[in-house]
Structures are given as C-alpha cells and as structure tokens.
C-alpha cells in the first residue's frame, strides 16, 4: 500500500523507508469529516447522492470503509468507485472502467480529485484510499481513513438500513479505542513495518511486536466471540482486514512467517467467523489483493509473479465460534442483503 501515506498508495518507484531502515506512514492529508449536523469549517453534511467512495479492493485500509458501507446499508446513499489494484507512477487509477475513466467523476486518476481540492499541495502526502469525493465537483472531501468508518457508522444513521449494527457504541468506545491503538501500531501497520524494513534490526523489531500482539489477541479471543462486547464493532473490522490478507500476502511477501494465521488456535476460527458474516467475506477479493502486493511491490518481488495459493475454500470451514455466545449484529440487528455477484472481477493474468 502506501509507502508514506495513510492507506494504500504504494507506487512502484517509491521508497517507503527512512534512513534508519524503518517504514514510515504519513497521516491523511485531508481530515474533513462528513457529519449529520455540520458545525463549522472542515465538516460536510451527510447527504445522500452527494459523495462517491473510492476504494481499492486490495487495500486493507480501504476495505474497512467498504465493509462498513455494506453493513450499514448505505449503498444507495454513497456511490462506489473501485480502482485498479495495479498502480503506476501516478498511483491509483480507474483503468478498469470503460475508457479508463470513472463514469461518475470523469477522472482517470484519483490524484485528480486531490489536485481539485488543492492544486498546489494536494498530493503532498501521496494519493491514498479510501477517499470520499464530491460527485458534482470531483474534488476530494476526505481521506481520513479512521474517521471515515466511524462516521459512516454513526453520522449517517438517518440513511442506514433497518437492523444495521452499532459499530462504535458509546459505552464501549474507550475499550474499542484501546484495542484499536495496539492493533494499528503492531498489526495493521506492523506488517508494513516488517515488510518494508531495509535494516535487519528494524525488521526484527516489527516482527517481534507483530507476533506478540497476535498472541495477545489470540488469548483475548479464547473465551469471547468478538474483540469488544458481544457483537461486531469497529475493532473487529480493523483487525479483520489485516487477518484476511495475512496468509495470502503478509506471511511470505512481508516475511511475517513465524506462523500462518491458519495456525493460531483462536484467531483463525475468529477470522473465519467474520469472513462468513455478510459484509465481510463478500467484500474480499483475493485476486485484487495478491495482484496488488505481488505486482506493485517490485522492490520486494521483482519477478512480479503472483502466487496461486492459499486455497480460499478454507475460509468456509466451520468455526464453531457461535458457541461462545453473542451475535454479529447485536440483539436487534440483521444481516445486510446478499450481493448480486463479485464487486469487480479482473481479467486473466498475462502469461
């Protein structure tokens, strides 16, 4: 993903490390929020039909927003654009669309939305996904990935489907934030710190912290179905998008190879439980994921060969996590309607 920006704009020509050999992630450049009742500068109104969510199916940070949009039933309120998993020197592009342009925004590259917002410094921190773009003007509203999911879950309540879950309940926010803090530094970002390290010591530090945190999470999930409370929250969504990529990408490609996710006693059934929950597995595309990491990160994989495994059917094996109690959407929640088909299939790999 992004060598230096928040969420996913690894360009094949960039170097994501500093002089110490450490991976450095830059924060989001545009931190405006879309809220139910705007109260000043930097706040936009939650208004159906006004915004377009731009994601990569490969990017774990963007994947979060895709899951939340689906869980909350906001498909009719916020349109969706899916970029190609293969970036070039201008980063994320719409080459999968007809004529290589997004049919709503008219852009060939997501950077056009960034430059529409700020012509001089719009791409200073890179071009990252997820991004929310105003449809009528084509300019970027926000790329603040942590707040995008929180606000989709809370600030769009008026337009959410009946039975939508409460993903960031007030009484659990302190605990959710504490779990998310550790997961972000050691797991979500930790795999990147290991994968992009250019010094042995920096790699070993990230590797050690990653597996220490995974061990802690594995123990935490021994007697509870979800990370916080008795139904899915922001914490589960943020961990899932890294876990679902772990064996396919991070274990080998990023050298996070002490063990596979499938070898954890509790994390593996937990991840399968989420994968089999509507809104999670049906937004996963292993083809996009593997093509992005293995074909874009040429400094790590110069041959650009995409592995065939692991076998995705393992994600559908019984998990028995329901025996721990709780329910995915809460006592009054219901699952979203099934998707019609895959979100954006890719053409066959070049031989």
- pLDDT tens readout for residues 37-90: 999 999 999 999 999 999 999 999 999 999 999 999 999 999 999 999 999 999
212 phi, psi to nearest 5 deg: -65, -40
> Is residue 226 annotated as a catalytic residue, yes or no?
no
- Of 51, 59, 145, 275, which residue is the catalytic one? 59
What per-residue confidence (pLDDT) applies to 7? 41
pLDDT digits (tens, 9 = 90+) for 91-126: 999 999 999 999 999 999 999 999 999 999 999 989
Asked if residue 201 has pLDDT above 60, the reply is: yes
DSSP letters for 92-146? SB-TTSGGGS-TTT--SBTHHHHHHH-TTTTTTT---SSEEEETTT--EEE--HH
How many whole angstroms separate alpha carbon 306 and alpha carbon 85? 13
Structure tokens of 333? 């929640």
- Of 51, 114, 145, 192, which residue is the catalytic one? 192
Asked if residue 4 has pLDDT above 90, the reply is: no
What per-residue confidence (pLDDT) applies to 6? 35
Domains of the chain: 170-277+304-324 (1.20.1050.10)
Q: What is the mean pLDDT of the chain?
A: 94
CA 20 to chain CA centroid, Å, is: 27
pLDDT digits (tens, 9 = 90+) for 245-276: 999 999 999 999 999 999 999 999 999 999 99
Asked if residue 2 has pLDDT above 50, the reply is: no
Asked if residue 179 has pLDDT above 60, the reply is: yes
Q: Is there a contact between 329 and 232 (Cβ–Cβ < 8 Å)? A: yes
What per-residue confidence (pLDDT) applies to 11? 40
Question: What's the average model confidence in pLDDT over 22-48?
Answer: 93
Q: How many CB atoms lie within 10 A of CB 304?
A: 15
> Is residue 59 annotated as a catalytic residue, yes or no?
yes
pLDDT tier, 13 (very low <50, low <70, confident <90, very high otherwise): very low
Asked if residue 1 has pLDDT above 60, the reply is: no
Q: How many CB atoms lie within 10 A of CB 303?
A: 8
pTM of this structure:
0.95
What per-residue confidence (pLDDT) applies to 5? 37
In terms of Cβ atoms closer than 10 Å to its own Cβ (0-12, 13-18, 19+), residue 336 is: buried
- Which of these, 108, 163, 102, lies nearest to 336 by C-alpha position? 163
Q: What percent of the chain has pLDDT over 90?
A: 89
């Amino acid at each position: 993903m992004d060598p230096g920006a928040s969420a996913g704009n690894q360009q094949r020509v960039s170097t994501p490390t500093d002089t110490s050999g450490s991976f450095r992630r830059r924060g989001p450049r545009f931190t405006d929020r879309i809220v139910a009742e705007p109260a000043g500068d930097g706040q936009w109104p939650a208004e159906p039909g006004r915004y377009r969510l731009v994601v990569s199916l490969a990017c774990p940070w963007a994947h979060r927003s895709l899951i939340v949009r689906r869980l909350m039933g906001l498909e009719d309120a916020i349109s969706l654009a899916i970029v190609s998993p293969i970036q070039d020197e201008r980063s994320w592009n719409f080459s999968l669309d007809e004529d290589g342009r997004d049919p709503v925004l008219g852009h060939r590259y997501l950077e056009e939305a960034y430059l529409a917002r700020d012509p001089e410094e719009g791409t200073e921190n890179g071009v990252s996904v997820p991004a929310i773009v105003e449809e009528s003007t084509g300019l970027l509203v926000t790329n603040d990935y942590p707040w995008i999911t929180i606000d989709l879950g809370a600030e769009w309540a008026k337009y959410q489907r009946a039975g939508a879950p409460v993903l960031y309940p007030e009484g659990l926010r302190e605990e959710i934030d504490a779990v998310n803090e550790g997961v972000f530094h050691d797991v979500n970002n930790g795999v990147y710190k290991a994968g992009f390290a250019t010094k042995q010591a920096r790699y070993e530090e990230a590797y050690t912290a990653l597996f220490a945190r995974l061990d802690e999470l594995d123990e935490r999930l021994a007697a509870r179905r979800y990370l916080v409370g008795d139904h899915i929250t922001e914490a589960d969504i943020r961990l899932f998008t890294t876990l679902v990529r772990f064996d396919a990408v991070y274990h080998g490609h990023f050298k996070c190879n002490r063990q596979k996710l499938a070898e954890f006693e509790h994390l593996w059934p937990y991840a399968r439980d989420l994968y089999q929950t509507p809104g999670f597995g049906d937004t996963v595309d292993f083809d996009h994921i593997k093509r992005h990491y293995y074909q874009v990160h040429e400094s790590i994989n110069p041959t650009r060969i995409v592995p065939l495994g692991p076998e995705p059917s393992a994600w559908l094996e019984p998990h028995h996590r329901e025996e721990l109690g709780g329910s995915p959407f809460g006592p009054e929640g219901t699952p979203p309607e099934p998707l019609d088909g895959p979100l954006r299939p890719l053409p066959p790999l070049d031989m």
